[in-house]
Amino acid sequence: MLPRLIALDIWSASTPGVHVGAAPRRSNGLINAWWTAWTVNIIPTLMATMTYARAADADAIREAMGLSLVSTLFDIAAAVLAIVFVRRLTAMQQSKALEQ
């Protein structure tokens, strides 16, 4: 939970147009989507690990690999969302720096 809270604080503090006091409310949708993709990834990762550990035949290994693929897709989604977050945050910080 701490990485999300830190990201929200930085996002809020980087809002242009605010010099003193609380920053105006900005949408947290991007941060929430990143955090959701990143944390939901835990479920298929654990399922794939347990399935592979118990695999006794090729079908079980295929099932574990399918779960691993789902986990990888969540990883990719979280990475793309993190890149978008950093790019937007950088633009916000640059805009705020140029105000002063």
Please give the Cα distance from 82 to 40 (Å, whole number): 15
In this predicted structure, the answer to whether residue 94 has a pLDDT above a threshold of 70 is: yes
| Cα 34 from Cα 83, distance rounded (Å) | 10
For residues 32-43, average pLDDT: 94
**What is the model's pLDDT at position 18?**
60
| Predicted structure pTM score | 0.81
Domain boundaries, the chain: 29-99
Residue 85 banded pLDDT, cuts 50, 70, 90: very high
Give Cα 14 distance to the centre of its chain.
Answer: 19
pLDDT tops 70 at residue 23: no
